[in-house]
C-alpha cells in the first residue's frame, strides 16, 4: 500500500464554499472512483490556509488510473466550472502532491 499526500492552498474567504464543494461533490465523486481517504485536515502555514488530506492506494498504477478517471469526470468538470464562475478560484496555485512510501523498519517498531 502507498499513501498520497495532497495539500491545497485555499482562499481563506472561500473556506466554507470550498468545504461545501468538497463534501457535496468532490468527495462523493472520488468515492465512486474508489478513492480511500485516510484523514483530512486544515492547516495554516506561512499565513496561508491549507486543506490537507491523505489517500490510500494499493499501488501507483491504481492511483494513476483512478486520478485520470476522476479528473475526466464530466460532473466534476461541471462543478468546478460553475464554482469558478460564481466564486472565482478557491484553490490557489497547484496542489502539492506527494507519494509516501512506508519505511522497511517502522512496521517492526516496539
DSSP code for 58: S
pLDDT band at residue 108 under the 50/70/90 scheme: low
Q: What CATH number did the domain enclosing 66 receive?
A: 3.30.70.100
| Strands, E assignment, 1-110 | 2-10, 36-45, 48-57, 91-100
pTM over 0.75: yes
* C-alpha–C-alpha distance, residues 87 and 85, integer Å: 6
Confirm whether 35 is domain-assigned.
yes
Q: What is the pLDDT of residue 107?
A: 66
Confirm whether 110 is domain-assigned.
no
Confirm whether 109 is domain-assigned.
no
Residues 6+ apart with CB under 8 A from 59: 1, 2
* C-alpha–C-alpha distance, residues 82 and 106, integer Å: 45
Q: Which domain holds residue 67?
A: 2-101
Q: Give the count of domains, the chain.
A: 1
Closest C-alpha to 15, from 69, 87, 78, 72:
87
Amino acid at each position: 500500500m502507498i499513501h498520497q499526500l495532497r495539500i491545497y492552498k485555499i482562499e481563506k474567504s472561500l473556506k466554507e464554499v470550498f468545504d461545501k464543494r468538497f463534501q457535496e461533490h468532490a468527495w462523493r465523486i472520488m468515492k465512486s472512483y474508489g478513492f480511500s481517504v485516510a484523514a483530512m485536515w486544515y492547516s495554516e502555514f506561512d499565513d496561508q490556509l491549507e486543506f490537507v488530506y491523505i489517500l490510500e492506494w494499493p499501488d501507483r498504477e491504481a492511483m494513476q488510473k483512478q486520478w485520470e478517471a476522476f479528473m475526466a469526470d464530466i460532473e466534476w468538470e461541471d462543478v468546478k466550472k460553475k464554482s469558478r464562475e460564481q466564486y472565482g478560484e478557491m484553490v490557489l496555485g497547484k496542489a502539492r502532491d506527494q507519494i509516501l512510501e512506508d519505511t522497511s523498519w517502522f512496521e517492526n517498531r516496539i
